[in-house]
Structure 1
Amino acid sequence: MATTSNRGFFDRAGAIEPPESRVQPERPSERKAEDRSEPRRARTSMGSMAAYMERESESVRELDALRERFDGASATKFIDPRLVAPSEWANRHEDAFATAAFSAFREEIQSAGGNIQPVRIRRIPAARLGEKPANAELSPGKYSESVQPLYEIVYGHRRHRACLELGLPLLAQIDEEMNEQTLFTLMERENRGRQDLSAWEQGVMYTRALSKRLFPTRRALAASIGLAEGTVSKAVSLAELPDAVIAAFASPLDIQFRFAADLNKALQIDPDGVLSRAKSLAQVQDKARRGDAERQDGQQVLAALTAPKDATSPDALEERKLVASGKVIAKIRLDRAGRTKITLMLPLVAGQEEKLDQALKALKFI
């Protein structure tokens, strides 16, 4: 005897009108013209019931697939950006927030009244609440004792920084729990797919993960983030360059993957020469920041650092012109070896040599 639940099912099935009661017999010619891409219609009550059950089963499978896909997903909500801090694995250098591109990005966030695309964050484990945020220097002056962060950024550092500087609420997706490897992998893949990280930034991130034993080997790290092991090794070699070499660049963001082989080769052949030239270049870059010299781009710095040891005519890295009465009277150059050369463009007249000699002595050049 059918149960109550089964009776409801069979009642619905019995209500299905058999197709033969309202469909005329087919002619052979019509059967040939039939669209074979459509499923054949059931010809009996049992066939209709079977088709109904098949459709019901398909709906259940679709619902199960959707449930599996979104199971555990968290809703987004607006929070105070001061409650969110960079994690230990944050990979954006401070220079990345001082570019024209970031300024334009921040203006876009401001015009929209906040970030439309949510950032992803995780809740800081209870055991670490109250600690100084890891990499808090990435948001200088934005954290205080009165506002303790409760979350760490998984990805969306630029969106978070823009909202933090503008004082706008941050739209965020919150993960209550997430382990370190998952955070690292999601962050690296997301950032690499958006505003590309520089080779040096990637190298610093990978080096930190390896030194903290987040991954046992470079191969394991590469497999986790979907990169070739050779690419990871190049990035790490850039991050391990001497500080003096890094300082020779106007910004670490100027260092590219293809610089790795040439820089490491030059350091092996002539380490003292490379470090000496790097020191001179750093002085030039400092002057450029003050507006007293021309900024040297990454390619220029690479050429200077990797100059042959026995180069006799190094190109000028910096040149200043002395002008008097509308005429260039002298050029001052700083070459790759850090030497200053003064070229007078006009002949000296009587008495000028002595004055030049006195001027140089006063500067303690000779």
Structure 2
Amino acid sequence: MRLVVQVKLLPTPEQGAALEATLRAVNTAACHVSRQAHEQRTFRNYDLRKHTYTQIKDGYGLAAQAAQHVIKKVADAYATLHANIRAGNLGKVGSARRVRAESTSIAFRADAAQPFDDRCLSWQIAARTVSIWSVTGRLKNLRFTASAEQLKTLSAHRKGESDLLYRDGMWFLIATCDMPDPRIKDPDAFLGVDLGIVNIATTSTGSRHCGKGLNAVRHRQRELRRRLQAKRTKSAKRLLKKRRRAEARFAANTNHVIAKQIVTEAERTGNGIALEDLHGIRDRVRLRKPQRVTLHTWSFHQLGRFIAYKAARTGVALVHVDPAYTSQGCSACGHVDKRNRPNQETFRCTSCGFAEHADVNAARNIAARGVTDWAVSHAA
């Protein structure tokens, strides 16, 4: 299982200037490689290396290994772009967005993250320092801060590349850690999880994680952005920049808390977790214009990822099930009817009379499908 550990760097002013110059140099070189790749229609790492390695190594003052990583970063970026085009994520053939993506080269911000391997970056975990290559020479004794758990994970499992990242005036290193996969425990039953907007997550045991607070924060942030953007003053722009990631941080923290509670409950009871497969829901659902903002800020995918990796770390089984008709079907008798849902929060079966909160009923249906799917996929 692969995880990442993010640590905060504490550079001196001189070290900070060197890191800034390094990111600027490697990303300027990456833009050059990207233009060459786009013009020559050459996107493979090995082919790009033949065309651009000497140019960027000599022209931008990069070390050999740094130049290799710049070329690989460009090749990976184009591989991701082409995969998105093939998957239709950038629109249909001939759409303005897709034409723009296909007709222009990928550009890299001056402060975009840069990968470093063990030849360019060494860790002194006990001393909480790193030594990293820069365009001004090797930076030694560059301090970082991390929790005891992060230090333990780095010492035992760090492997591969680490990314240098500059964000909101702070420097970070994101280290890749390869951890052994824990044995997935055979579940006694499944904990169904219904994901929604009014209730972010509802479990089949009746636990509901209300989305009212998160939606209120999103609305408040949206209104604040609207007012500040209308002002167009320097102070308004400064405040916009300061608060640009506040909503995302709050939403991510909320999802982390909910995911931890769900996985802890499943682990304590010896159950697996059944989640809805909501891939492509934003393309399938048609809503009135006032509702679209709410749908497109719904971070169900992030919550699903958090639950998945936390479950994997603890050996809890996880399955994704088809969500079709889970909100209209009765978890007691199986009867499916639109009239079973008279309103958003009420479920009342028109066949057997069973009544329950609508999200709890859907979560129970998801749990039942989890049992079936697990039995099919793990049949002897």
Which TM-score applies when normalising by structure 1?
Answer: 0.25
Which TM-score applies when normalising by structure 2?
Answer: 0.25
1 or 2, which has the higher strand percentage? 2
Higher RCO (Cα < 8 Å, 6 or more apart):
2
Larger radius of gyration: 1
